[in-house]
Amino acid sequence: MSQTQQGTPMLELLKLPLSVLPALPRIVRDLPAYLNFLSGTVNGTGYDDRKYLLEKVLVLISQAEEDSTFSHILEMLFIRILYRDLPHPAIGYLGIPKGVPLPVPTEVLNNPIPYTFRAADGSNNNVHMPTLGMAGLPYVRNVTTSNTFLHHGTYPSAETVFDELLKRDGFVEHPGGLSSFFFSFANIVIHDLWNTNHSDWMKNDASSYIDLSPLYGSTEADVNSVRRHDGTGRLWEDVFADRRLLFMTPSTCALLVLFCRNHNYVATRIYTENENGTYADPATLDEEKRAVQDAELFHRARLVNSIFFAQIVLGDYVGSIIGLTRDGLSWRLDLPKSIRDLSHAWTGRGEGNVISVEFNLMYRWHPAISMEDTTWMEHFFNGLFHGKPSQELTIEDYKQAVRELTLATPRDVRERTFHHLKRGPDGRFADEDLAQLLFDATESPAAAFKARGTPEALRIIEVMGITQARKWRVCTLNEFRAYFGLRKYNDFDEWNPDPKIHTTAKRLYGHIDNLELYVGLQAEEAKPAMPGAGLCPGYTISRAILADAVALTRGDRFLTVDFTPANLTSWGYQDCQYEKDDGSMGGIIGRMLGRTLPGYYPADSAYKHFPFMVPKTMKGYMRKQPNGNVDKYSWERPKGPLHEMKKAAMSLSAVKAKASAQVKMNGNENGTSGQYGKLGL
């Protein structure tokens, strides 16, 4: 994240014509897409996203000369457009808490957390509006609807919609080579931002910021449950606060455990670096001073860890979403950077953010679940619902199962486990077990986004999603597209050209303007893998997701104006910076994998540098790149230190056996002048 002020002085503008020259052939080739955008914007009909304007602009910026005036201005304009897709601050809440204007809770006013540290519930991110984006408040609605079809009881049942449009009819491998590991990380991001209140579906019990709340929690009680409070600022070993994640795929839990380890690594480094000379051995401090030191170390470590998490989102995650990692490009959109436009006006940063119901629905990526995770889920759900078939499950069955599961989960985070893993005497899970889960996830291809792509085991989850969307009174798909300046669909075959899909949808909904948002997003024709497109979801999702990414990062004070060495310490600030030449193609997650599972991620391993891509697929893409460096990487599954220890032990046994045989041959079986004596064994 750049902290330098980005302007467009006249001297730079004078350089613009020269910096454009190398890009002219591509601009001319893509001219129809640009003209379509201008035409659709001027006449108000919206532009045709099947012309791939978004992808063409991303490719143009990514392949332009680095730090050129042309690439800088184009990136600046691109980010400005995306940031202004959504209102800042959002105003269309699903409900207003008692009191107008929005009251500032006493606990927020009396918040003991200093301005530069994150609050557990996300409050005080915008100090002028302290409750903006705070956990426990209603969702916002970005897009209003004037459609009456869905609100007169004339819509098809949620069960029918799932069975006919969403239920998986066969596994199709992801066209962009994304791995199950990518969606394990996505799981953490999604649960970081959305936690719909079970009693009141209008409220979000998570904050609207990338604050790593699955690890730390969203309340002070959650945060205290994972902290040691021993003067070191560390967390308990291999814990996380959000129990929802215990019921996700094993690789999701394993990855979240690594973020716990990363926090402890960071806290220890900040303590040992002791940049200001203010930290002391906790054993030498009285209780009050120890508590003060622990609080500062914890909050600084949390800042570093959560910003590191956000850097993974921007570098590895978004880099995979727009295909940069796959195509061997280390350039990334610098979404949080400081920007002035041509009129010298600022583009906002650190203004706060509030999650919307539309994006809640957009991030339900169940069609992408891998075959291996589908099998795990089927077994898990079979036990959860006591063998009751998915076709017979009701929402009440789900709520009852969740209640039982919650009661069965230990309150003490140190006693929780997942996937039959065992904690050692030190409270940690075995490195070997965690590593194997993550290796499996890296090797496992994700599924393609498509209509009829959601595993049947998730039927009740999808039925609840459709039901929630209807209770929220969300907009239709066409209304959502119009909001983002996209051309509305005129008929179902434009939305999805597959006759089996669009004829079914037409029978269920009658007119394309009646197609509800959630179903429309899930069953829309998927975008093909191409330069600028790596996630390959439906066309509408691929446009809206970047607007959300910009809002999340630019709106967060801690990822923008307060991302400084003063707050993170000099070491922590440097630890969150990318290294373009480290072989990760603009990523950063490999740094955490290597230090939290030492010995399992060799420096040259593709599993370390590109865990979001299936190794064999990434290797194939790299071979096609002009400057592909396939031979610089190890593409085999890492063996880990246990393998090396076993290998060494076997070698030692072989040496001893050979030496013993030699001794016997020399008639000196018990002497010290034979092979044993010479080898010192």
Residues contributing to the annotated binding site:
366
Asked if residue 536 lies in contact with residue 448, where contact means CB atoms within 8 angstroms, the answer is yes
In the chain, the N- to C-terminal Cα span, in Å, equals: 55
**Cβ burial 354-383 (10 Å sphere, 16+ → b, else e):** bbbbbbbbbbbbbbbbbebbbebbeebbee
Number of other residues whose CB lies within 10 A of the CB of residue 11: 8
Task: Please name which of 475, 517, 466, 474 lies closest in space to residue 495, comparing C-alpha atoms.
Answer: 517
Calculate the dihedral angle through the C-alpha atoms of 173, 175, 179, 182, rounding to the nearest 10 degrees. -130
Q: What are phi and psi of 604, to 5 degrees?
A: -100, 10
Q: How far is C-alpha 625 from the geometric centre of its chain's CA atoms? A: 27
Asked if residue 452 lies in contact with residue 440, where contact means CB atoms within 8 angstroms, the answer is no
Cα separation, 92 vs 105, whole angstroms: 20
- The type of residue at 80 is R
Q: Is 363 a catalytic residue?
A: yes
Surface-to-core class of residue 402, CB atoms within 10 Å of its CB (0-12 exposed, 13-18 middle, 19+ buried): middle
Number of other residues whose CB lies within 10 A of the CB of residue 296: 17
State whether residue 613 is helix, strand or coil: strand
Task: Enumerate the known binding-site residues for heme b.
Answer: 366
Catalytic residue among 34, 363, 398, 578: 363
Helix 250-273 vs helix 180-193: angle between axes, to the nearest 10 degrees?
70
Encoded tokens for 234:
């560390």
- The dihedral built from the CA positions of residue 470, 473, 476 and 480, taken in this order, carries a sign that is negative
Number of other residues whose CB lies within 10 A of the CB of residue 446: 29
Task: Please name which of 597, 592, 600 lies closest in space to residue 639, comparing C-alpha atoms.
Answer: 600
Residues tagged active-site: 363
